């Protein structure tokens, strides 16, 4: 009697493949999420720099800075999407950050633009819990503020 050779995979081989796939996914998925958060952060930084330019234009026209996003040309929010001003400040277009303006009216005048992740979004898990841009008459710019410690220079990590 001839024995027939069976072909296929054993249960151990299948379990090893599943374990390797799970290990790779466990490493790759958190890295993917970090990159997504970083790209959203770059949207907030871009909008902050745009607001800084608008503040300078407003200062040239009015001899003062403003805390009102409407005066910089942003519309009020009338729905859930788009770049607009609501009760928590200027909402970024993708809706992941609120941007607030603070102005010191005493000489020398300066302003601070702060971006914080909106509550209820995945961006609240970002290592950069607050981005801040400050300038004054001498155009001194200060980088990001980082609440989490142990990540090196915050300006390098967040900006």
CATH class of 12-158: alpha beta
Residue 51: closest CA among 133, 152, 118, 107: 133
**Is 148's pLDDT higher than 50?**
no
User: How far, in Å, CA of 47 to CA of 68, rounded?
Assistant: 15
Q: How many CA atoms lie within 13 A of 152 on its CB side?
A: 5
- What is the pTM for the complete model shown? 0.72
Cα angle: 49, vertex 53, 56; to 5 degrees: 135
Write the pLDDT tens digit of every residue in 21-48.
999 999 999 999 989 998 888 888 888 8
CA distances from 137 to 63, 65, 88 (A): 12, 11, 27
Helices (H), the chain: 11-62, 154-158
Structure tokens at 10: 């054993």
pLDDT: is 142 or 20 the higher one? 20
pLDDT tens, residue by residue, 95-116: 899 888 888 888 778 888 888 8
Query: Mean pLDDT throughout 118-147?
Result: 70
Residue 121 phi/psi, 5-degree rounding, is: -105, 160
Query: What letter does residue 56 receive in the DSSP assignment?
Result: H
How do beta strands 110-117 and 131-135 pair? Answer: antiparallel
Q: Where are the domains of the chain?
A: 12-158
Task: Measure the CA–CA gap between 100 and 131, rounded to whole angstroms.
Answer: 11
Compute the distance between CA of residue 30 and CA of residue 55 in angstroms, rounded to an integer: 37
């Amino acid at each position: 009697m001839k024995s027939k050779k069976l072909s296929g995979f054993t249960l151990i081989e299948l379990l090893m493949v599943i374990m390797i796939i799970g290990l790779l996914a466990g490493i790759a998925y958190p890295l993917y999420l970090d990159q997504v958060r970083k790209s959203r952060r770059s949207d907030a930084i871009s909008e902050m720099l745009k607001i800084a330019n608008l503040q300078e234009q407003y200062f040239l026209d009015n001899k003062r800075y403003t805390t009102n996003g409407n005066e910089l040309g942003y519309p009020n929010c009338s729905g859930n999407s788009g770049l607009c001003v609501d009760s928590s400040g200027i909402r970024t277009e993708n809706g992941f950050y609120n941007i607030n303006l603070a102005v010191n009216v005493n000489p020398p005048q300066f302003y601070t633009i702060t971006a914080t992740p909106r509550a209820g979004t995945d961006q609240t898990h970002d290592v950069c819990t607050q981005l801040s841009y400050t300038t004054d008459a001498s155009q001194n710019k200060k980088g990001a503020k980082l609440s989490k410690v142990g990540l090196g220079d915050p300006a390098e990590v967040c900006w």
